[in-house]
Structure 1
Amino acid sequence: MTSTTSPTPNHQTISPAIFYWGTPVVLITTENPDQTFNIAPMSSAWWLGNRCMLGLGAISHTTINLLRTKQCVLNLASDSMAGSVNALARTTGSAEILTAQPDEGYKYFKRMNGYEYVHDKFGHANLTPLASELVRPARIMECPAQMEAELVGVYEMMRDADTKGFIALEVKVLRTHVHEDIRMVGAGNRVDPDKWRPLIMSFQELYGLKGKVGSSKLAGIGEEEYRGFSNGVEIEGGK
């Protein structure tokens, strides 16, 4: 008789240099001192209720902008936007990168790895700015989901390690905008997971979703049951 038991996995101990197991690509827009807008692609982000934690370098241009203005927009890229994300991948909104020296840590790392100073990120990536409603930074029209947000908390990371210079920024989502074609029919405030196709960063490679593999038991809890825990301001109305 043929056994249907799956073989026991052979686990190996490794020491990864990065731990990007697979998270959505976020294009963060912030306001520059000259009132133009910067865009930074990142994937170290996670949500709980209407709060999002962003893991960023403490001296990155986006971090400096966000700490100064307390405002940003979290634009979620779709799996059709890899070209635009790659156009932004090795760019910086800080001209200081051009002259960074070895003792300047992360800035020097960027310079040595070919980062390019780009002031007009929208033009460089062929993206379209849209006016936000509650914050100053522009939204990105091409992104199917855009969350206007404000900074509510700053937390130093890696205080027990030799490598420092990273912080976690807690932002509160104030208003959420989505493309009509990813909304769930008949539900005013829901995104249809069968229509939403996020761009995923997994170990420095870009992926899309390959289709549903099953439903979570958590789906038995209605989405509206969570609203009391998030107090989010969502889309009004529905079709």
Structure 2
Amino acid sequence: MKFNPAQLEPKQVYKLLSGSVVPRPIAWVSTISKDETLNLSPFSFFTVASRQPPMLCISIGPGVGEREGTIKDTLTNIQNQKEFVINIVPTFLGNEMQQSAENVPSNVNEFELAGLTPVDSELVKPKRVKESPIQMECKLHQIINLGSDYLIIGEMVLYHIDEEFYAGNYKINLEKLRPLGRLAGNYSESADFFTLPNKDLK
């Protein structure tokens, strides 16, 4: 079988991509609006963009469901404030993450909605999720409009990690972290780890 994306609806192409590019890590992005409303939302189009300087990127599409076609609050806040925090989602915070993904009005504080604790960042204005074991403070580097979506590239300026999840020598205890991943419309838990003989893969 083969599919020509030019002959498909965007939702059909999205299903093919989101079911093939898996598992995808989840960026739990915290931002703050001009009126200082706290915002928290998960995005699974997320990866490292650069090692030096350290940069992370997330792709943000238009609103869906009740907010079909609107601009997401996360994008608006990043455009205005030029700062954000990426919090990593372990499996034990899956329910809270899912709750923060609900379509709610812009004046709703998703920290409160999900029962999470906001804590001050040190170099950026948006808050961090206290319950998340890893939080990365980011300053906006660039926003690139790509078709219907926006690629947000941010430079990581400060990295926070709970000592219980730090394995030493700048490594993460992944068995303890058990990060949540996205598999099309479902989720995956990274729990089984193994090595392969070929170590040349970067």
Query: TM tier, shorter chain?
Result: 0.7 to 0.9
Matched, 1:126 2:130: no
- The aligned amino acid for 1:171 is G
- The aligned amino acid for 2:163 is E
Residue 218 (structure 1) shift: 4.5
Q: Is the 8 A contact 1:61 1:92 kept in 2?
A: no
Deviations 1:35-77 (A, max 9, x none): 1210011111110311111100262110010011000000011
Larger proportion of strand? 2
Q: Is the 8 A contact 2:30 2:86 kept in 1?
A: yes
Which residues of structure 1 form unaligned runs of 5+? Answer: 1-11, 95-117, 159-163, 222-239
Distance 2:158 2:141 in 1: 15
Residue 89 (structure 1) shift: 2.0
Match of 2:188 among 207, 221, 225: 207
Distance 2:176 2:104 in 1: 32
- The aligned amino acid for 1:157 is L
| Pairing 1:21-60 to 2, within 5 Å after superposition | 21-47=22-48, 48-49=50-51, 50-57=54-61, 59-60=71-72
Q: Which residue of 1 aligns with 2:90?
A: 78
Q: Is the 8 A contact 1:25 1:200 kept in 2?
A: yes
Distance 1:207 1:193 in 2: 14
Which residues of structure 2 form unaligned runs of 5+? Answer: 4-11, 63-70
Number of residues paired by the alignment?
178
Structure 1 segments (4+ residues) deviating >3 Å = 12-17
Distance 1:208 1:143 in 2: 16
Deviations 1:80-133 (A, max 9, x none): 111101212222452xxxxxxxxxxxxxxxxxxxxxxx6121111011111100
Q: Which residue of 2 aligns with 1:217?
A: 199
Distance 1:196 1:84 in 2: 16
Q: Which residue of 1 aligns with 2:158?
A: 175
Q: Which residue of 1 aligns with 2:14?
A: 17
Residue 210 (structure 1) shift: 2.9
Q: Which has the larger radius of gyration?
A: 1
Instruction: Please give the TM-score of this superposition, normalised by the length of structure 2.
Output: 0.80
Distance 2:97 2:200 in 1: 32
- The share of aligned pairs that are identical, in percent, is 22
SS of residue matched to 2:35? coil
Residue 16 (structure 1) shift: 4.8
